[in-house]
Chain A
Amino acid sequence: GAVVSQHPSWVICKSGTSVKIECRSLDFQATTMFWYRQFPKQSLMLMATSNEGSKATYEQGVEKDKFLINHASLTLSTLTVTSAHPEDSSFYICSARDLGREAGELFFGEGSRLTVL
């Protein structure tokens, strides 16, 4: 099946630094990718929709200047958490749809766990 890969799978950083998380579709092209955040014992919360070649669309309440999204190619989207603080510590997950498939299922990455000290 289609594979979506995230890197890094976990990262620890100091408060005030920026962290970049990559999301790649390994065997298909994705014009649209989605970024989610998940806090412990909670459900996934959609942060933004990443569109190849154009600006991302952010959900209400998500700061676009803090969570920078770049979707420069059909197989790569990046999420940069700028000036990270402890409250940004979370599990970040991306997903993508395989344009080559008729069915509409989304494929998810393994997730990236961010810990801000």
Chain B
Amino acid sequence: DAKTTQPNSMESNEEEPVHLPCNHSTISGTDYIHWYRQLPSQGPEYVIHGLTSNVNNRMASLAIAEDRKSSTLILHRATLRDAAVYYCILMGSSNYKLTFGKGTLLTVNP
């Protein structure tokens, strides 16, 4: 499975934008880039995913580098409820198995 690299932790202030980076230099042409987040003592929650083009949804935006070797999850206005571990994961087009790395622990300061 292609691996991803994320910072262990990041900190943000409430109502400010947050950019969470992810490197995936060994991504294959058919791998989708998925982002999930996990709040304490809960199952992960889907955030967003993309293949080549940037994506927007009600939760976040996903900016994908032109060479697809990195991506950035953008939370436009962080709230206290966004404090969680964010996982960047690659998923093959025919295999829906997700392999979780350590993720980024996002702390949001009031």
Contacts and interface: CB of A to CB of B under 8 A. Distances in A.
A52 to B, nearest CB: 14
A83 B32 CA distance: 39
Contact of B44 (A46, A49, A93, A97): A93
A32 B96 contact: yes
Given A105-B46, A111-B42, A49 B91 contact: no
B101 interface: yes
A46 B98 contact: yes
Q: Is chain A's binding surface mostly helix, strand, loop or mixed? A: strand
Interface in A24-50: 32, 34, 36, 43-46, 49
A93 B43 contact: yes
Give the size range of A's interface with the partner.
Answer: 20 to 34
Contacts of B102: 43
B81 interface: no
Nearest to B96: A97
A110 interface: yes
A105 B49 contact: yes
Contact of B49 (A49, A103, A107, A111): A103
B100 A44 contact: yes
Given A34-B97, A43-B103, A97-B96, A106 B43 contact: no
B2 to A, nearest CB: 15
Interface string A43-62: 11110010000000000000
